[in-house]
Amino acid sequence: MQLEVEVDPPGAVAIDRETERRLTAVAAAGPILVFGVSIFTSAYLLFLVEPMIAKMILPLAGGSPAVWTTSVLFFQSVLLVGYGYSHWLSMKLQWKWQAALHGALLLAPLPLLPIHLIPGWNPPSSNPAAWLVLVLSVAVGLPFLVLSTTSPLIQYWFSRTTHPQASDPYFLYRASNLGSALGLLSYPFLIEPWIGLRAQAQMWRVAYIGFLLVVAAALVALRRARTVNPTPDAAELGDAIPITWKRRGRWVLLATVPSTWMLAATSYFTTVVRPMPLLWVIPLTLYLLSFVVVFARRTLVPRQWLSRIFPFYALPLLGIVLLDGGGPFWFLAALHFGAFFLAALLCHGELAADRPHRRQLTEFYWWLGVGGAAGGLMVAVIAPRFFKDFYEYPLAIAAAALLRPARAPGGDRRARVLDFALPAGLAAAMLAVVGALTLSGALDRLNRVEVTAVATGADLVRVLIVLAIPAAVSAAFIRRPTRFGLAITAMFLLGLLPIGSLAAVYQQRDFFGVHKVVSDPSSGEHALIDGGTIHGLEFMKGRLRDTPVAYYSPAGPLGDFFKSKSAVDAGWNVGVIGLGTGEIACYAKPQQTWTFYEIDPAVVQIARNPSLFTFLRDCTTRANVVLGDGRLTIAQAPDHSYDLIVLDAFGSDAIPVHLLTREALSLYAKKLKPGGAILFNVSNRYVGLAPILAREAGSLSMVSLERIDGQGDPAAGKFPSDWVATALTNDDLGDLGSRPGWRPLHPDPHTPLWTDDFNDVLSVTRLG
């Protein structure tokens, strides 16, 4: 009998092994997918709720970059608490207690949703920072805390499995930052233009419930996975290199500098460079993407390459900041944000390279949270209190330069001494030159020599002393981070010297920004400058003294209005939201009563200081100044009490949208006497508000006129301006409609109607 032996065809074993490999890969990818989606979803919701709650609060807190930086400080602080909770939970409790406690915490925010503000919680008339933190704590503190625990905790749980990639779970941190960046970008571009705040809050609640389901799936996947003890024992911790306090301190510094730079660049760019809405999205997105890049499984950008090119960004950026330089928008954006992205990649790259053993993961993230919160504290609290200008920005640049990885060996004792001596010698030499020029009177003579239409000889000396010579010397120090960083610090200190043509006669910084009054001795002009925007101008001598100029010139739209109403305005009661320098007060007549509503106490002090501006003192002694948010305070005035309401609060980057909504316009109309009118100064290079006002006026059966006055007159201090006049009937506007340049504003049904619930600044923003 012959036996037939069945022989496997060639390649059968290989096919089986390939199939097994693929099945193993699929099985390994399953937990990663579930854990990654959990982390991504939590981060996405975190960065959706930040701009959403900020938009809810802005109508109460006023529009200023400080509202955003204070909010970021709050979120960073809560993130730190969440990281601390994750570390404690992972180190102290067994798995079943971890799951039970965290499950209860995940459910805790549900009774507080949808997110909303408590009615009647209005801010104080002075610094609202503490009030802002309290409101954020009540409104979003618990949901934000719960979401912030997800990334470190799930990464830690994943590290306790026997998954092939569990030995280095930090790659999952990319999912967190990618979700954060997409959430941040989704809000202004996909959500805000289409969905109102109440609907946003409801959708966020639904999304949070979906997040709970995803986390539940992750817990099930973790339970099914083969895991080691979720709480490490002494033997396992012994495998990890002990973390020294020096190493922890370095982590904190490397996390603090990018956080400080991000917030400082945001404040500086959106006030000094381009006062445009939503620019804060750019640095925060780059900050998050830097983590995505450096925590990749493979090196995407070599750190040595970043270290080499960073100085060539840092030096020109520092020069532009110290010299208040300008230029095309895209060039400045590339320089400011490009340098920041390089610094973030450098610092975060050093953190990624020094990440500890997986058993120490939660502690590592906690120290990163400490650094992030320290950066927020620096910009939101310390800098406004102790700095008169945005000094934290150049200091962050110098700190990043000091933290660069060295390209040259440490050297001997002589080299280390020179690291300090050479920058000090550079600063001393420049100070000696300035001292000699000042004592000899040469600097004063140069200040009277006009080199160009906008610069004097003293301005050129400033460029040489602050930038050109120190930058050339600093370039020789690039290979030694300490020497280069201290040379940059010397440049910053030299930038504080009062060299140049336009000296600041007054400067103050508060929660709402940096207020500077500069003087031109040749013309006698005093100008109030907030960031990069001139908010008022006065000629302190000559025929134009106590004459409204800038946007308020008698030859401009505002002058037209008062000329058209001259026959009937002798006893008017006038309300003005936005004080500025008080120029509008010089249209007042003796029997009129004028009330100014101003949110910033520093602006009130400036307008009332006769050594800076004399409009309030000389033009009307019956002017009242009410401190607080314009909409909230004017609401307390009796109905039908004003003949005229003027709104002059839309010249900066942070447009106070709550002053422009349909509900706000309805409130102003309610405060008008029969025959009264409302004037809006909508002069803004970057935001077009006239179509929005026309749409709202049409919805309330009101009429609107606009005059765009593009003719400036520098000799007379007249600026181009854009004004909108609104009233119940055309007769209430007198003969304004027949005056040159004025045109009716017809509501466009395609223009969205701005309400307290829905508004979209991005749709009316232009780059200019």
* pLDDT digits 0-9 by tens, 241-292: 788 999 999 999 999 999 999 999 988 888 887 766 567 788 989 999 999 8
Q: Are 39 and 175 in contact (CB under 8 A)?
A: yes
Range name among 324-328, 533-537, 599-603, 661-665 with the lowest pLDDT average? 324-328
The dihedrals phi and psi of 135, each to the nearest 5 degrees, come to -65, -45
Maximum distance among all Cα pairs of the chain, rounded to whole angstroms? 131
Residue 204 has pLDDT above 90, yes or no: yes
What DSSP string describes 674-693? EEEEEEEE---SSB--HHHH
At residue 27 the predicted structure's pLDDT band, cuts being 50, 70 and 90, is very low
Q: Are 475 and 315 in contact (CB under 8 A)?
A: yes
Whether the link from the prior residue into 114 is cis, omega within 30° of 0, is yes
Instruction: State both tokens at 544.
Output: 């134009």
At residue 33, the pLDDT reads 82
CA distance 385 to 382: 5
How many residues appear in the chain?
768
Residue 767 has pLDDT above 80, yes or no: no
At residue 11, the pLDDT reads 46
Q: Are 348 and 69 in contact (CB under 8 A)?
A: no
> Class for domain 244-405, per CATH?
mainly alpha
CA distance 12 to 15: 5
Give the global pTM. 0.84
Domain boundaries, the chain: 31-231, 244-405, 413-501, 543-764
Residue 15 has pLDDT above 80, yes or no: no
Q: Give the residue-averaged pLDDT of 340-360.
A: 91
Q: Are 558 and 550 in contact (CB under 8 A)?
A: no
Question: Domain 543-764 is of which CATH architecture?
Answer: 3-Layer(aba) Sandwich (3.40)
CA distance 360 to 191: 38
At residue 23, the pLDDT reads 37
Span 403-435, pLDDT tens digits:
988 766 666 788 889 989 999 999 999 999 999
Residue 542 has pLDDT above 80, yes or no: no
Q: If 0-12 CB within 10 Å is exposed, 13-18 middle and 19+ buried, where does residue 391 land?
A: middle
- Reference 90, options 243, 239, 231; nearest CA is 231
CA distance 487 to 464: 15
Q: CA-based Rg of the chain, rounded to a whole angstrom?
A: 30
Classified as helix, coil or strand, 354 is coil
Range name among 20-29, 160-169, 234-243, 594-603 with the lowest pLDDT average? 20-29
Q: Which residues pair with 222 in a beta bridge?
A: none
Q: How far is CA 306 from CA 21, 340, 342, 346, 407, in A?
A: 38, 12, 7, 6, 11
Range name among 211-225, 230-244, 410-424, 663-677 with the lowest pLDDT average? 230-244
Given 3.10.105.10, 1.20.1250.20, 2.40.170.20, 3.75.10.10, which CATH number is that of 31-231? 1.20.1250.20
Percent above pLDDT 90 for the chain: 36
Matching CATH topology for 31-231 and 244-405?
yes
CA distance 160 to 550: 67
At residue 4 the predicted structure's pLDDT band, cuts being 50, 70 and 90, is very low
Torsion angle in degrees (nearest 10) through CA of 374, 376, 381, 383:
90
Span 82-93, pLDDT tens digits:
989 988 988 887
Torsion angle in degrees (nearest 10) through CA of 733, 738, 739, 744:
70
* 502-506, 662-666, 730-734 — most confident range: 662-666
Span 554-611, pLDDT tens digits:
999 999 998 886 555 678 899 999 998 999 999 988 888 999 999 888 899 999 999 9
The dihedrals phi and psi of 539, each to the nearest 5 degrees, come to -90, 115
Span 470-515, pLDDT tens digits:
999 988 898 888 999 999 999 999 988 888 766 788 888 887 788 8
Give the mean pLDDT of the chain: 84
Higher pLDDT, 449 or 692: 692
Angle (CA) 709 714 719, round 5°: 30
User: Using the 8-state DSSP alphabet, how is residue 242 labeled?
Assistant: P
Beta strand 672-681 with 642-647 is: parallel
Any idea which residue has 């948010």 for tokens? Answer: 629
Classified as helix, coil or strand, 643 is strand
- Reference 264, options 102, 412, 378; nearest CA is 378
Q: If 0-12 CB within 10 Å is exposed, 13-18 middle and 19+ buried, where does residue 165 land?
A: middle
CA distance 493 to 491: 5
Instruction: State both tokens at 710.
Output: 């593009």
